[in-house]
Structure 1
Amino acid sequence: MASHDTTSIEKISKPAGARVPWASAVDLSDRIIKLSVGQDTIKVHEKILCATSEFFKKATKSEWAESRPDPDTMDLTDDHPAVVKAYANWLYFRTLPTPDEHSLANGTFKADCEDEDMTKIDDNHDLMDETQIFLARAYVFGEKVIDNQFKDTIIDCMIACTVKFGDCPSHTAMNILYQGTLANSPARRLIVDFWVYCAHDSKGWAGSVKLHTPELIADALEAIVRKRPFPKNRPWEESPEQYHEKNQVEDIAALSTSS
């Protein structure tokens, strides 16, 4: 498993002390489940894998396991290797490794990732974008494996990134979240609130409206209408001429002359 820098996102929770109840000890003699993703096989103890995921709880039951060629191996080839590795890290340590400039520059993050959107750094696609795109992918994975604790961690990390970088996720990250979640998703509410409270007339916001999914724009527009104060001015009454086809007469005259 490639090393990741965990300093870019602060730990969501810190233990009050080293001592824990005996019953909470990790059983390292437990059955090992192999997660096949990309070119890698990630090995996780069954009880740890199933502790917070409803999907893996069902997938490890005998009736499901016996239907696979290898009952102890699960095929996750449709998922992103970097995301699955980060999830495994979170399962054991409750920390979330995220991309940083060093891991992106030396290729260690790219080696764990098969998505061009998550491996570019340039003026238009900086570290903040890479991090938020990665977090969006991770949230969608949490949705797939039905792990609410993991999804809550991702939400906290997304908010922490927004505060740290002073900007909201890019349209790419927002679209990933919308396309990978259901209508009642808390993550969608967060994205809509980004629009309600942060959107303004700038290249990053106004210039990217058409790049977002129609469903996101519809939700954002509805929320903005609900939140904004009722406007008192009526521009169509104050200057109706702004809605006129001002050059229509000139255009017709020019067309007649050219013919």
Structure 2
Amino acid sequence: MDALDPIITLKVKNTAGGTDNIHVHQGVLCQSSSFFQNAMKKEWAGSKDKPHVINLPEDCTETVKIYIEWLYSNEIPAKLYMTHKANKSNGEQEAREAEKNFIVLTKAYIFGEKIIDSVFTKEVSEKMQEILATSMGWPTAECVKMIYEWTPSNSPLRRLLTSNLEDTLWEDELNSGILDFLDTYPQQALVDALKAIVGTRPPP
């Protein structure tokens, strides 16, 4: 990182409905995002009144901060919960926390696709896989709806979700209620999961 590198201000929305300013070195911001690389080209930035300010009115502070922290530290912040090793009461609480983490990472992944940073989305996806492998239950309807609303049909995030459903769709004592849970999922998510199951199921 160059100490003389210009500071870029990202204007993002906060939970109160206002705007927060997030500051980042230009070289850091542009290291792997095609969107930010293009936004800082002279022909684009030079045409603005404030060339070192980028407005992101649809993106929240928490999500963008995760991305900026990753740029500087190369780490995705997310606590993993080994719920299958915990007792039932602790496991249920930790599963709820894991679901919150998964939603946060889902928003981060969607932001990564928006700014065209495949390095970031790959690392977020790996963290999401870890959470799915170590947490109890399935992604919430809120999370699945978000994925299907904000990602294209060929998104790797959809494939990750479909693969998880394919591997975990059965009902027993531990998975009781899964059928009712699936009623809350978007139809296309269930169609994709069914296609994956049919595609891997051995013939009778």
Q: TM-score normalised by the shorter chain: which range applies? A: 0.7 to 0.9
Measure the CA separation in 1 of the matches of 2:128 and 2:137. 11
Aligned ranges for residues 174-185 of structure 1 at < 5 Å? 174-185=144-155
Identity %: 34
Gaps of 5+ in 2: 14-18, 81-91
Aligned to 2:8: 33
1:94 aligned onto 2:64: no
Q: Which moved more, 1:197-206 or 1:154-163?
A: 197-206
2:200 to 227, 235, 251: 227
Give, in whole Å, the separation in 1 of the partners of 2:63 and 2:142: 17
Alignment pair present for 1:138 and 2:108: yes
Say which structure is richer in strand: 2
Contact in 2 for aligned 1:132/1:161 (Cα 8 Å): yes
What's the CA shift for 1:67? 4.0
Does residue 195 of structure 1 match 2:170? Answer: no
Matches of 1:65 and 1:184, distance apart in 2: 31
Q: CA offset at residue 228 of structure 1?
A: 2.0
CA RMSD of aligned residues (A): 2.3
Does the residue aligned with 2:192 lie in a helix, a strand or coil? helix
Superposed CA offset, 1:158-210 (max 9, x none)? 01112232444223222222222112221111111111111123455311223
Q: How does 1:32-51 map to 2 (within 5 A)?
A: 32-38=7-13, 39-51=19-31
* Cα separation, 2, equivalents of 1:205 and 1:71: 51
Aligned length in residues: 186
Residues 200-234 of structure 1, C-alpha deviation per residue, up to 9 Å, x if partnerless?
23455311223222221111111111122335xxx
Secondary structure in 1 matching 2:58: coil
Matches within 5 A, 1:1-259: 26-38=1-13, 39-98=19-78, 126-201=96-171, 202-203=175-176, 205-231=178-204
Retained in 2: the 8 A contact 1:139–1:177? no
Q: Which moved more, 1:194-203 or 1:30-39?
A: 194-203
Contact 1:142 1:151 in 2 (8 A): yes
CA distance in structure 1 between the partners assigned to 2:202 and 2:160 by the alignment: 21
Task: Give distance in 1, aligned partners of 2:79 and 2:63.
Answer: 11
Aligned to 2:22, the other structure's residue is in SS state: strand
CA separation in 2, counterparts of 1:85 and 1:186? Answer: 23
C-alpha distance in structure 2 between counterparts of 1:69 and 1:167, whole Å: 50
CA deviation after TM superposition for structure 1 residue 97, in Å = 2.4
1:123, distance to aligned residue in structure 2 (A): 6.4
Confirm or deny: 8 A CA contact 1:36 1:77 kept in the other structure. Answer: yes
One-letter identity of the residue aligned with 1:37: V
Instruction: Report how far residue 40 of structure 1 moved.
Output: 1.5
Q: Matched residues in 2 for 1:48 and 1:218: separation? A: 40
**TM-score (structure 1 length as normaliser):** 0.66
